A and B are shown apart, each in its own frame.
Chain A
Amino acid sequence: MKLLEILQEIHPQFDYETSQDFFADGLIDSFDLTRLIAALEEEFDLSIDGTELNAENFKNLDALQGLLLRHGVK
């Protein structure tokens, strides 16, 4: 899955599949978040709006998939 690859590109040593909360588990910090958003926008050719920038949209794989789905990415 492309999304997982993008996450693993950021920190290959972390397990993004099982974590339910990337922020609480320390898998993503504010530096990483900037990189993640840039990577998602580039890979899926979309633009993430400021109002979508909240923990609920980014906290785990399901949340991110939901976000992508709303942008028409399946």
Chain B
Amino acid sequence: MIILRLVTDYLAAAAEKWPGKIAVVDEVRQMTYGELWREAERIGAFLASRMEKKAPVALWFGLEGRSIAASQGIVLAGLPYAPLDISMPKKRLAKIFGTLEASAIITNRVCSEDVKKFAATLPQVPEVYTYEDMTEVKPSGAELAILDRVESVRTEDDALSIIFTSGSTGSPKGVISSHRMLTACTQWQVKALHMDETTVRAAQSPLYFAMGAYLDVYATIAAGGELHLLPKSLFLFKRKLISELARRKINLIFWVPSVMRSIVESKALALEELPPLRTIAFCGEPMPPQILAEWFKAFPRATFSNHYGSTEVTIAAWQELDRDTVLSMGKPCGEKELVIVTEDGSQAAPGEVGEILVRGPVAVGYLGDRERTEEAFGVEERTGKRFFHTGDLARIDENGDMVYVSRSDAQVKHMGYRIELGEIESAALTIEGLSAGVCLFDKEKDELVLFYVADDALRGKDILRQLSDSLPRYMWPARLKKLEAMPQTEGGKIDRRALKEMF
């Protein structure tokens, strides 16, 4: 493995060592390392000579290998990239652009007319460039010289990218990552998951999903492996999914437990031909032990591991598993350190519940939101190390293992997605005729439930229609419950506990 400073160094090194080797496979195209690098460099040269501001550049792509080349081109030009979930409602995308203040959007020729129309509605209209226009022409000597100059002043503390996650006040939060955070985690993961040029990894989620998706890209490139971007439709029918993994000879997955659970539930692991999986890793939510047991049975020779992390820290802890391991949060990975702190900031005693603090190479902060950045991030005076307040509560058990307890706030995990219930509530409260709305998560059924008070004229159907105009699909409530009035606590607050009794 190559140990380097900036994420683009991985691609440069891989392109030199394996120019003709397949790097990324999507539905329409496969790209070699040589092509990936050449196209990234062209995009870099194009941007470096045109973008004056250090503003982010947005990526408007479906699941395409080209979006990876584009992201690396943006990075070469010394700019942060922001991958977008283009299936999300335009209203929410507009909110994201309000925070992002992107100077440009890169898309493909097929989408470009739509993107231009959307861009024109924004208060600050970004440039719209197509991938084809940027890569079909060789950059001029002058353009390459500018790229060279821009490239040479980049540092590992530069903002690498911005990923948007659900925000409690109704606007998505943009997490700014740095090269340092990603390279530290990439280096660690390539080693921990024994990745090399024979690795064939299948990405379950697109770039915008969470920082974990970045590792699909960077760890694969650092190892010189092959990354398959699986189309979303493949995840509808799990037996087809498993057969497809077998056909593609996938040997490594790093997926969310929800997907692994639905594969077990659809009995896809009973298929005769299973993929040659050597490494099975998961992250993002707790894994049900009985589901894991089925995977062990189907893949007795694979290495299993459980990971803990978030977009703000990438991977912070992990646990190598064998059949008898009791699932816990495991031990810190790479340069990360985990501490449990109580409300006064002191370290929790064994058994005592407190918040997990992650120290080490963590994200830079939230874009354009100093208040929340200062609340959640900080620098330890004594060591100069950065830290992040995860909002996850945990304790140390009698064996000395860290055990997850719950969230300290209203953030939930639903099908692997991170959701702030507050964002759903603020969207609900913009609906005319709806006077009160509280969203809760029914863990048992894995469903979002919206309790509301509204005029008789407002039908449930209308509420859902309006919510689907402003929220991404995974945030739509599965059930609505109309109430005459919200139950209140003695202190006059909404009684969430009483609402939970009504599930």
Contacts and interface: CB of A to CB of B under 8 A. Distances in A.
Interface of A: 10-13, 23, 29-31, 33-35, 49-51, 53-55
A12 B473 CA distance: 14
B266 A30 contact: no
Contacts of B239: 50-51, 53-54
B460 A55 contact: no
Report the 4 A-B pairs with minimum CB-CB distance, sorted nearest first.
Answer: A50-B267, A13-B465, A12-B461, A13-B464
Interface string B449-491: 0000000000011101100100001101010000000000000
A12 B464 contact: yes
B235 A50 contact: no
Given A12-B460, A29-B473, A53 B465 contact: no
A54 to B, nearest CB: 6
Contact of A50 (B232, B270, B465): B270
B233 to A, nearest CB: 7
B237 interface: yes
Nearest to B465: A13
Contacts of B478: 10, 35
Interface of B: 232-233, 235-240, 262, 265-268, 270, 415, 460-462, 464-465, 468, 473-474, 476, 478
Nearest to B415: A31
Given A23-B236, A30-B236, A50 B268 contact: yes
Contacts of B232: 29-30
A53 B262 CA distance: 12
Contacts of B473: 29, 31
Contacts of A13: 461-462, 464-465, 468
8 contacts: A12-B460, A13-B465, A13-B468, A29-B236, A31-B474, A34-B262, A34-B265, A50-B268
Contacts of B262: 30, 34
A32 to B, nearest CB: 9
A21 B434 CA distance: 33
Nearest to B241: A30
A50 B263 CA distance: 10
Contacts of A35: 478
Nearest to A28: B236
A13 B461 CA distance: 5
Nearest to A34: B262
A50 B268 CA distance: 7
Contacts of B268: 50
Nearest to A48: B266
Given A30-B262, A31-B415, A54 B237 contact: yes
A30 B238 CA distance: 10
Contacts of A33: 236
B233 A23 contact: yes
Nearest to B238: A53
A55 B237 contact: yes
A55 B236 contact: yes
Contacts of B267: 49-50
Contacts of A11: 464, 476
Contact of B237 (A10, A31, A53): A53
A10 B268 CA distance: 25
A66 B239 CA distance: 21
Contacts of A55: 236-237
Contacts of B240: 54
A48 to B, nearest CB: 9
A53 B271 CA distance: 13
A49 B232 CA distance: 22
A50 B236 CA distance: 12
A27 to B, nearest CB: 11
A21 to B, nearest CB: 11
B493 to A, nearest CB: 30
B255 to A, nearest CB: 13
A19 B234 CA distance: 21
Contacts of A50: 239, 266-268, 270
Contacts of B236: 23, 29-30, 33, 55
Candidate in A11, A30, A34, A51 with the most chain B CB atoms within 10 angstroms = A30
B266 A53 contact: yes
Nearest to B473: A29
Given A13-B462, A13-B465, A30-B262, 15 more contacts: A10-B478, A11-B476, A12-B460, A13-B468, A23-B233, A29-B473, A30-B236, A31-B473, A31-B474, A35-B478, A50-B267, A50-B270, A51-B239, A53-B238, A53-B266
Contacts of A12: 460-461, 464
Nearest to A33: B236
Contacts of B235: 30
B472 to A, nearest CB: 11
A14 to B, nearest CB: 9
A54 B468 CA distance: 27
B75 to A, nearest CB: 32
